[in-house]
Structure 1
Amino acid sequence: MTAELWPAPVAASPVSATVSVPGSKSITNRALVLAALADGPSVVDGALRSRDTDLMADALSALGASVTVDGDTFTVTPGALHGAEIECGLAGTVLRFLPPVAALAHGEVLFTADDAAQKRPMGTTLSSLDALGAQVTGSGDPARPLPFRVTGAGGLRGGEVHIDASESSQFVSGLLLAGARFDEGVTVVHTGTAIPSLPHVEMTVEMLRAAGVRVDAEFNRWTVHPGPVAGRHWSVEPDLSNATPFLAAAAVTGGTVRVPDWPATTTQPGDQFRVILQDMGAVVERHTHSGILEVTGAAGGALQGISWDMHDVGELTPTVAALCAVAEGRSHLYGIAHLRGHETDRLAALQRELSGLGCGVTQTEDGLVIDPEPLHGGVWHTYADHRMATAGAVLGLVTPDVLVEDIATTAKTLPDFDLRWTQMVEG
């Protein structure tokens, strides 16, 4: 069955809007895991409500925690962990964060997911748990690792494990989040090339420490000492990566978009989008007293091509690539070979879809070279990838007749994106 095509609205004039974005998915799901492992109840305020976070909450409930929801507030009371069936959808955080939690349960935990999740690398998570003393049974097919089972005996020895996390920082974060509950804690040593999205590991370490866990962090080595995880009140920052398409709208239309409550300091990789926009010629200002981030594009949406190492901010690549496609001059985005193992092969998808609208795009070993050409309308395929969908919406602002396939896939991290987008365009 063909997915519905959404006519991306064209901006008839420079966009001018204030856009509030919901809470960070990355922070919400880490807080939920820590709350389920804590020594008492926790409250997660300002949480993102989306498919990914609902899947995490449902999974933790299935494992034995009590999770209640009121608007954007989760209340979590830990319980005895037991066997369950976990539906992961397309959520990498559920796929990589919960197997170590399952190793602490009494009983068998079955992990299933959407078909598209089969493309996401899982071997490092499963082999690291096996090395730490867990009983893991995979499908036997490395190309299709799901479903798999983790059979827990109520605890895990833990200790030191050497892994190659060059495909995903989530391999490290998943072990660290549960590590305080392992008998010997956990020491994770990364042995491969540079870890992508390293700020997400820093986010994990910061949140563990906020929950009273002792963590030693060195270059490519992290030790979580055994001990209790404190129940606490978590306040979730806005999701800065989800804000980027709206800020990009200001840049491509020569308009102004304001996002309230932008944190002064943060471990979210999305904060780097401010610097990228400035490099491309937009004016970016965070108002200290109000906390509003304001982006104003150059007249006519004029943008300059860039050369950027996207390794630590790979999740921003689809939006940045969309900006590069309408900029002046060549752009080179590199350090992102790991994007071939995301929801889809994002490098191949971007090359295919940008080329389909008329842009010159070449894949390199670890990135994309983008040579802008006048764009034309067409179908923008999303591959069940929420960030591909929002990138198509950005291009549609300045390119008539862009039809985004399956805009509903944005519900993975940003429900009602299409409504929010249309309201922004219409003012």
Structure 2
Amino acid sequence: MTTTPVLTTTEPPGQLHGTLRSRHVTMLAMGGVIGSGLFVGSGAGVAQAGPGIVLSFAAAGVLTMLVMRMMAEMAAAFPSSGSFSAHAERAFGPWAGFTIGWLYWTTLVVVLAVESTAAAVIVHGWLPVIPQWLLMFLFMAVFTAVNLTAVGNFGEFEFWFALIKVAAIVGFLVLGALAILGVLPGGDAGALTGDLLPHGWDGVFAGFVLAVPAFGGLEVVTIAAAESDDPVRAAARAVRSAVWRISVFYIGSMIVVVSLLPWTDSRLGTSPFVAVLDEIGVPAAGQIMNVVVVIALLSALNANTYAAARMAFSLAQRRQAPKALTRISPTGVPYPAVLASTSFGFVGVVLNLLWPHTIFLYLLNAVGTVLLVVWVLVACSQLRLRRDLPAATPVRMWGHPYLSWITLAVIGALLVRMFIDHDTRIQLISSAVLVSLVLFAALIRSRRA
């Protein structure tokens, strides 16, 4: 007589409290993904691809969906706050879990410092009497405190915080649709009467390279699923919901932008969203979007703090980080991991004072392509673990193994393109140095174990 394998977690039971609900997990993903990269940075993609940026974002959305499907398959079978780091360890050994876990943690803590700095810059423009460094310190202190509360309270806070920027995007799409239909002024701009691919398919691919990082942050779904009330099924539900919603928001926003404004419009370089709102006559469009961007940055800061702390906690549980990081508060929060993860944000206050115009550029270059390295290891782990997945796993990767291999090939093409392009080569090289250092540390640790 045979029995169906039971899905189990890779972490000891009874530590993290499973109090997040599915809506919390989904909105946590929204909070981690939707940030200034969409509201401000997407203008660079429009400059590269013209109206073809819609195809670039659509392709990035498909690639993200495939990677997240692989993550969801493994997370549903082996729930863990370490998510893809724990899965890589299961697939290839401790060195792989160590490498991907520490790379991802490093990326998140750098992003925390950058997000708090960017939010402080905007708020300082409204309140010049408050020093920028103090605003940055206050943001880090507030969101450290939020992440030290019971995870259920944290989830509720992030749900409403992320909902604000989701509502802002929906409002933008509604206004844009009304303008395209001629109900509001600006719909007769004739932006799509010229060449739809002014730089050809090469421009679309260049836009694709810029669009992919905008989807980074969705990984928090599979991390948070381990703390949900139904970890086995939460990952599948949250991935399906978050990926298609974010794809609609991103692709829809780009359709509005290139429909209402010529892609050569100089205003797109500052903020495509502000340019569109100005075009259709929304009063104080710039200040409205600044408020939205600040909310987006702080929501992402909150979500990324959560993800960094859980990754540190999982690494410590697997003896790949200091044991002290495994401590849990009575409310189920890994408080030393939270404090360790936010500490770099506070260090960033000092770095911002010493080298305000250079330090964060160097740091961002160092972690710029780590997301793609994470995705490569996710795909490799899924290919390796597929044969070990329990039959009862509720999520399965589509077209296995062909789509998994195609995903790896596309990511490889992205890396090659980044190396060829002078503007992104330094980022790729800087990230390669960081990856090499972490991998070297992992191999040294493996030999000593």
TM-score (norm 2): 0.24
Pick the structure with more strand per residue: 1
Pick the structure with more helix per residue: 2
